[in-house]
């Protein structure tokens, strides 16, 4: 019984590690893709009590908060659809904390969605939602 539990925990840890590696690869792919289009990295994996901002970039005079989503399946709407209202509210809260104490500047929220970490089907959704979360 104890061996079964340990085995399940090791399997779970392996899947979580695999997911983290795939997520990091997807973020690196998204960053390289966006940099080739002229955006400049400001922060990567910025963490606060509200969550994490995957990428913060500069696009001209605007600050761009980018959520990178990787989904291996289009079931339940795929990667882009996974940025639901709850996730948007978490991103908005994190962005507010990021912006606190910084000079006011235009900003937007983009989503980069893909089904494989190499980004063969990468979709860049500019202005995916606004500061109201819509």
Round the average pLDDT of the chain to a whole number and report it. 85
Q: Which of 15, 109, 19 is nearest to 71 (CA)?
A: 19
Element (H, E) at 44: strand 40-48
Residue 56 within a domain: yes
Residue 88 within a domain: yes
pLDDT at 51 over 70: yes
Could you give the number of structural domains in the chain? Answer: 1
Give residue 114's domain range. 2-129
pLDDT at 110 over 70: yes
24: confidence class by pLDDT, cuts 50, 70, 90: very high
Q: Specify the pLDDT at position 120.
A: 85
| The 123-129 sheet, strands edge to edge | 40-48, 51-59, 62-70, 107-114, 123-129
Residue 134 within a domain: no
Residue 19 within a domain: yes
Q: Specify the pLDDT at position 77.
A: 59
CATH of the domain at 95: 3.40.1350.10
At residue 31, φ and ψ (nearest 5 deg) are -60, -50
Residue 25 within a domain: yes
Q: Name the DSSP letter for residue 101.
A: T
pLDDT at 46 over 80: yes
């Amino acid at each position: 019984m104890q061996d079964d539990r340990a085995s399940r925990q090791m399997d779970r840890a392996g899947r979580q590690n695999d997911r983290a590696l795939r997520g990091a690869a997807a973020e690196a792919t998204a960053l390289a893709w966006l940099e080739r289009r002229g955006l400049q990295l400001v922060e990567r994996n910025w963490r606060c009590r509200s969550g994490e901002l995957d990428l913060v970039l500069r696009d001209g005079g605007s600050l761009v908060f980018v959520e990178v989503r990787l989904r291996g399946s289009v079931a339940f709407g795929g990667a882009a659809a996974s940025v639901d209202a709850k996730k948007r509210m978490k991103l908005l809260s994190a962005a507010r904390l990021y912006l606190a104490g910084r000079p006011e500047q235009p900003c937007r929220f983009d989503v980069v969605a893909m089904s494989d970490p190499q980004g063969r089907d990468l979709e860049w959704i500019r202005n995916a939602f606004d500061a109201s979360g819509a």
